[in-house]
Amino acid sequence: MSSYHDETAYDPAGMEGHVLDWANQPSPFKFYKKIAPLPMPEPRPTTAGFWEAALAWPPPAAGPALADSADLAGLLQLAAGLTKRSGPQGLRAWASAGALHPCELYLAACDVDGAPQGLCHFDPASGGLHLLWPGRLATHIGRALAGPPARLGFFISAIHWRSLWKYRQRAYRYCLLDAGHLLANLELACAAHGLAPRTILGFPDTAAGVMAGVADRDEAIMAIVQAGPPPADPGPEQPGLPPLDLAAKPLGAVIGRDRRVLAAHAHGELFVAQPEPDWPEPEPGEHDQPLPPPTPPGEPSLWAVVHARRSRRNFVHAGLERRALATLLAAALPARGPMTARLLLAPGRDLAMGVYDYLPDRRALRPVVPGVDSRAALAQACLGQGWIGRAALTLCLWADLEKLERDFGPRAYRRAMIAAGRAGQRLYLAATALGLGCCGVGAFYDERAARAAALPPGGRLLYALACGPVKGWPGAPSAD
Ligand SMILES: Cc1cc2nc3c(=O)[nH]c(=O)nc-3n(C[C@H](O)[C@H](O)[C@H](O)COP(=O)(O)O)c2cc1C
């Protein structure tokens, strides 16, 4: 799918101005015409530790299993809730390009005391649930995904127009990256509630859309997570169709579409479930430098870390220590995946400046361009966002998209972009837990940024994140 990525590359010579139509900004909240949200109890904060969940892949079940609707409200708050009520839209648990929050979260819960049973849509504005399809749906969902039923099933969608309104044809990139950010939170939140998450990115699109009640072109399912063991009574194989009218209120007076976004999504469509690919393992290199084991300084709760996370850009000229770098990267990246992590490092006390690849399976650095400081060049390539040049670490997530598609098929682009977003959210959270700042960067002149990060021919930058010490932030949340 390099064609969509290439078609939507920013080029300094060809940038047209785009005036935002503030009068028709799409609503960041989804409401239904005929269904009111059912209130949920005050979320009960989990005490599960952040690092315990973040340093293992996939995050293992930690803490007592989710018991009731207050726990479920806590889980939803961690995944996709409002973590700060400021302004008309509030601030959310997941970082989002332009704060446009294109993603929605749906869930089918079985046997959660006090919570509606059936498929629900989470309303972050009220913390309540829209009940869309009452009943026991675990067998039906498991069957459609070619897997076993689970106690909780989640669907992450993206409404393209929220992002298109600002980013036009580039919006699909942000919808996928944002979905990855939300996915990271959701997986960690499930683990913290004692339910091991199983993430499914190779689902059949139509079946998933019908199950979540989003069977139109404007909203698309991006990721599915099942969590917990099969319930005692998982329900029938064919529960019929939702009995309720699922029509949503329009997001605004104007709803736009873009043919490139629709084509890019359709290109990755699947009709039958596809298992997770066996991602390649990089060959060992002569000059690989092992990093020390990750050693977090304390164990703040996931709850505290998610609530303290924000995009912080006021980086100061200071480097990272090897142990902090090892801890950040171990939390951000699984052993294998569809993209490669390239680092631009400032000099630190025990770290040499330069461009490196990170090898997550061996937890080692591979020098690419040692001794060179490319951060200012990258900052210029990121539409002149100067603060990137002061960050101790810039994580550049990239892939050879043509090769990826040749080897793993058309769904690989979605997988790579979602994996990049997931790594991004985890880097944000790990940075927060270490008292560092972090900010995602989706706006870059693609070719210039690839050059600044010394990507090989065919390499495309998917997403970058700047991270490091910042001014005026009180530091890591304390251990509970
Ligand atoms: C995919 C993605 C791309 C982003 N790109 C940029 C960027 O280029 N420049 C920037 O200043 N912030 C960028 N951000 C940060 C968002 O502006 C920020 O997440 C949003 O305003 C919400 O604020 P919060 O992260 O504090 O919740 C990006 C975030 C994401 C998730």
- Give me ligand 1 centre to Cα 438, in Å: 10
- Give me ligand 1 centre to Cα 98, in Å: 6
CATH 3.40.109.10 fits 20-268, yes or no: yes
* Three-state secondary-structure class, residue 227: strand
List the domain boundaries for the chain: 20-268, 289-468
pLDDT for position 63? 79
Confidence grade of residue 477 (pLDDT, cut at 50, 70, 90): confident
- Quote the CA–CA distance of 368 and 387 in Å, as a whole number: 23
Is the link from the previous residue into 58 a cis peptide, with omega within 30 of 0?
yes
Q: For residue range 172-220, list pLDDT tens digits in order.
A: 999 999 999 999 999 999 999 999 999 999 999 999 999 898 878 899 9
Sign of the torsion formed by the C-alpha atoms of 130, 133, 135 and 140: negative
- Give me ligand 1 centre to Cα 353, in Å: 26
Using CA positions, which residue lies closest to atom 19 of ligand 1? 95
- Quote the CA–CA distance of 289 and 278 in Å, as a whole number: 25
- Give me ligand 1 centre to Cα 344, in Å: 19
- Give me ligand 1 centre to Cα 39, in Å: 30
Q: Ligand 1: which of 8, 101, 311 to mutate, judged by most atoms within 8 Å of the beta carbon?
A: 311
Using CA positions, which residue lies closest to atom 29 of ligand 1? 97
- Give me ligand 1 centre to Cα 439, in Å: 6
- Quote the CA–CA distance of 107 and 194 in Å, as a whole number: 17
* Cβ pair 419, 412 in contact under 8 A: no
- Quote the CA–CA distance of 84 and 87 in Å, as a whole number: 9
Which of ligand 1's atoms lies nearest the C-alpha of 424? 31
Report yes or no on whether pTM surpasses 0.95.
yes
Q: What is the dihedral of CA 141, 413, 26, 98, to 10 degrees?
A: 120
Q: Ligand 1: which of 174, 439, 461, 462 to mutate, judged by most atoms within 8 Å of the beta carbon?
A: 439
Q: Is pLDDT at 1 greater than 80 in this prediction?
A: no
Average pLDDT on 135-161 reads: 92
Which of ligand 1's atoms lies nearest the C-alpha of 98? 17
Binding-site residues, ligand 1, Cβ < 6 A: 91-92, 95-99, 174, 177-178, 181, 310-311, 385, 439-443
Confidence grade of residue 89 (pLDDT, cut at 50, 70, 90): confident
Q: For residue range 25-79, list pLDDT tens digits in order.
A: 999 999 999 999 999 999 999 999 999 999 999 999 987 889 999 999 999 999 9
pLDDT for position 18? 83
Q: For residue range 377-433, list pLDDT tens digits in order.
A: 999 999 999 999 999 999 999 999 999 999 999 999 999 999 999 999 999 999 999
Q: Name which CATH class applies to 289-468.
A: alpha beta
Same fold, 20-268 and 289-468: yes
pLDDT for position 243? 79
- Quote the CA–CA distance of 436 and 133 in Å, as a whole number: 43
* Three-state secondary-structure class, residue 178: helix
Which of ligand 1's atoms lies nearest the C-alpha of 310? 26
* Three-state secondary-structure class, residue 275: coil
Q: Is pLDDT at 480 greater than 60 in this prediction?
A: no
CA distances from 453 to 327, 344, 449 (A): 22, 7, 6
